[in-house]
Amino acid sequence: MAGELLYGAPAPGLVDIPPAAEQLSPLIPGSADIAALPDASAEAAVILAPPGTLERDFVLAHALRALKPGAPITAFAPKDKGGARLKKTLEGFGCTVVEDARRHHRFCRTVRPSALHDLDRAIQAGAPRIVPDLGPEPGMWSQPGVFSWDRPDPGSVRLLDVLPPFAGRGADLGCGIGLLARHVLASTKVTDLTCADLDGRAVACAEHNLDDPRVRVLWADVRRPLDGVADLDFVVMNPPFHDGGAEDRALGVAFIGAAARMLARRGVCWLVANRHLPYETALAGAFATVAVRAEGGGYKIFEARK
């Protein structure tokens, strides 16, 4: 294990990053699992704290747990995305914090004290668990920080209402914890389903939720080629349109292009999108036919065929 830890991808010049630091962010495929780090083993940590309270406290608690007593930690975040609460959180764990602000971020510097407080509470609150509201009894595995972690996303629910039964080989792009995939797998005519997501936490939960020999779950960026995913009969997706908290319509366009490349001739893609997102041009350029199959509640559902 690396002696120094890094969580997240800070903007260039924002903070000094140890050159050999071990990446821990679940949004960077291949990163180490922060929850699996040995206690009191690391020499230093740089943490770009995530915005959600449960997720942020979970990450900071694990980082402090993994540091050796006296080891330095720098935690920072945009002021409007949790940065203003970092100092109080770290002090609640028993740290003495020096704080400064620049470039719209708050930076907190401290060292891991010999005695830490309330780590177990924060770790338990941010850990994976079965969430009853995500499906039939007993629910589905999820974790704070994952997209729509504690309730079904309304767009996905609307898509589920109109999806037909599928057959053959398919994919769920941006699968999350597997809500759409579980519905797709209800068809015994589905022979193979590849599920891919950028969030390693969602992938781990999907592996729990989709315990089916027909399924392969990948921790991957859908915008890059996926090994062995070609000549598919169908694709389902609720593509993301935020990157780092900011709207990025190019993400959905990239998902549309990826789906088109994966599908065989006459293959079909079903997707849901917020009404304000102008995906019609991208769909028309990538598919032979495009139809709106449902609309309402702020969403559009498309069926697009190669």
User: Which tens digit of pLDDT belongs to each residue from 59-88?
Assistant: 999 999 999 999 999 999 999 999 999 999
Q: What confidence tens digit (pLDDT) does each residue in 248-281 have?
A: 678 889 999 999 999 999 999 999 998 888 899 9
Average pLDDT, integer, range 275-294: 94
Q: What confidence tens digit (pLDDT) does each residue in 165-220 have?
A: 999 999 999 999 999 999 999 999 999 999 999 999 999 999 999 999 999 999 99
pLDDT number for residue 40:
96
pLDDT number for residue 136:
85
pLDDT number for residue 247:
53
pLDDT number for residue 137:
85
pTM, rounded to two decimals: 0.94
- List, in order, residues 6 or more apart from 29 with CB less than 8 Å away: 198, 200, 219, 220, 221
